[in-house]
Amino acid sequence: MEINELVRSNIADLMQFSSVRDECGLTNSVLLDANESPYDNGYNRYPDPYSKKLKRVYSEVIGVPSDNLFVGNGSDEVIDLLIRLFCEPGRDSIITMTPSYGMYKISASINNIKSIEVPLENDFSLNPKKVLKALDETTKIIFLCSPNNPTGNSLSEDDINQVIKDFRGLVVVDEAYIDFSQNRGFVSNIGKFENLVVLRTLSKAWGMAGVRVGFGIASVEIVNLLNRVKFPYNVNRLSQEKAVELLKRGNKREIEAVLSERERLSQQLKSLESVVEVYPSQSNFILVKFRDHRKVFIDLINKGVVLRDLSLIRGCENTLRITIGTKSENDLLIGLLNGSINKRLPEFIERVRSTKETMVSLRIDPDGKMESEIMSGIPFIDHMLEQIAVHSGFSMRLIAVGDLENGPHHTIEDIAIVLGDSLFELLSSYRGNNRYGFSLPMDESYATVMVDFGKRAFLQWDVLFPLPLIEGVESDMFRHFFDTLSKGMKASIHIRSNGLNGHHMVESIFKAFAKSLEMIMSEGVGSLKLKSSKGLL
């Protein structure tokens, strides 16, 4: 089969956009060809139109040559481009499964292409005979999603192979969720089948939904055709750089956590009286059939939890799709479903800081309903941050990934920046001039911490540790932590501590700081709020 025989005639004759830089290979010379600003701010030049560095990095991740990779503005762009490449508007058709991902049909409709739906079996498996029987002379592309969205199951490799072998058109296997599956996927087969295209995305397992980067993996011939019809600079420079950075950082820990929580959440859902069936999943979501799905959906919305209602899709009647959250999020969901939690969840405070050295994400639950989860890669810092969560009255989920091979400095500093900004937002909702302090003894050590949340940053540090290292962390890092924290909080913090054991001294400081925060947020100490003749500090 010749791929060029499938391509629309006007596309076959289309001249690909090419910049002078592409043609001459000069990118670091005097560039006066593209009407850009000559003043360098890091982003004044157009991005690499072919995302070459990103392709090199991703090719190492999946073991496929970079020449077989096309980078799109999300995999949705690749879907649209494939339909525009191979399907003649008003004449040709595609085949999709149902239930399956809705963008195949939407993209076809936008391009005036007929979409023929073939139902999956009752167990959501693929019947290749039904698919092949639905073909006619206008069919150019078959879209298969494995693991399938929204059902979560993987399609049989043998069934997919049969469709690829027996169809004289293009077969697109969408593997957006393959990282959560036990299956190897089809990227290793692109050299075997010239009519195969595999879709991958960084939005799911790699946590880059906001970056919008997807891949089409196919023969060099198909990749060249995609490059011919894409917009010249379809993936911006910020997205390319962030994707490279996060790909190098890895995602093993996150995937393992999702898989563990998927199993745990599935078992807990099966025990609920409101649940009829929990479908097996090899993705980062679970399809669940409820006795009264609409009631469950509305009740959860009213209490601050959003699920996906799929009941209008054929084969998914009375179902909701549940994305796997963190352990604490999943616990909240189960608590709301089994009735052990009845209160509406508060608005969380969320912050993310991402640099070349670190990535820190923080979510604070002001009511403390969410179980705290703290993972910085520095055990003693985790232990100290847990003291803030336990003794302040709120809870937090903090995940930090940093260049710990070069020491903990950047990670600890960025945690303080993110935590300080979040505490400023949290404490700003409490009225009054909040000046509180707390003294806390701990064995032979003690600490007194006073906090003046008056929107003016200052740290007074009267602490002398007995040793230069405390549980592997330089003792001066704790002064730096609270100095950075005070700037983010816009608060004056006065800390005094003494003792014989550095561990106990640090722990007493963190606990006393947490108790000071609790006092600021407590309605029970309202009479202690200091009045000011200015009315405002």
Same domain, 233 and 380: no
Does 536 map to a domain?
Answer: no
Does 534 map to a domain?
Answer: no
Does 409 map to a domain?
Answer: yes
Per-residue tens of pLDDT for the chain, all 537 residues: 678 788 888 887 787 777 777 767 666 678 877 888 888 888 888 999 999 999 999 999 999 999 999 999 999 999 999 999 999 999 999 999 999 999 999 999 999 999 999 999 999 999 999 999 999 999 999 999 999 999 999 999 999 999 999 999 999 999 999 999 999 999 999 999 999 999 999 999 999 999 999 999 999 999 999 999 999 999 999 999 999 999 998 999 899 999 999 999 999 999 999 999 999 999 999 999 999 999 999 999 998 899 999 999 989 999 999 999 988 889 989 999 999 988 787 788 999 998 888 889 999 998 887 888 899 999 999 999 999 999 998 999 999 988 888 889 999 999 999 999 999 998 887 765 567 788 989 899 999 999 998 888 999 999 999 999 999 999 999 999 999 999 999 999 999 999 999 999 999 999 999 999 988 887 654 444 444 444 444
Does 344 map to a domain?
Answer: no
Same domain, 155 and 297: no
Does 537 map to a domain?
Answer: no
Same domain, 162 and 282: no
Same domain, 410 and 478: yes
Same domain, 35 and 118: yes
Same domain, 90 and 177: yes
Strand extents, DSSP E, 1-53: none
Q: Which domain holds residue 361?
A: 349-528
If you ran DSSP here, which 8-state letter would residue 29 be given? S
CA 359, 361, 364: angle at the middle one, nearest 5?
A: 160
Largest CA distance in the chain: 85
Whether the Cβ atoms of residue 236 and residue 79 lie closer than 8 Å to each other: no
Report the residue count for the chain: 537
Question: Which one-letter amino acid corresponds to residue 197?
Answer: V
**What's the predicted TM-score (pTM) here?**
0.81
Which of helix, strand or coil describes residue 259?
helix
CB atoms within 10 A of CB 32: 9
CATH code at 459?
3.30.230.40
CATH code at 311?
3.90.1150.10
Same domain, 274 and 241: no
> What are the residues whose beta carbons fall under 8 Å from the beta carbon of 175, sequence distance 6 or more?
146, 147, 185, 186, 187, 198, 199, 200
Does 343 map to a domain?
Answer: no
CB atoms within 10 A of CB 227: 17
Whether the Cβ atoms of residue 344 and residue 302 lie closer than 8 Å to each other: yes
Structural domain count, the chain: 3
CATH code at 42?
3.40.640.10
Of 297, 317, 338, which one is at a domain's C-terminal end? 338
Does 123 map to a domain?
Answer: yes
Same domain, 393 and 519: yes
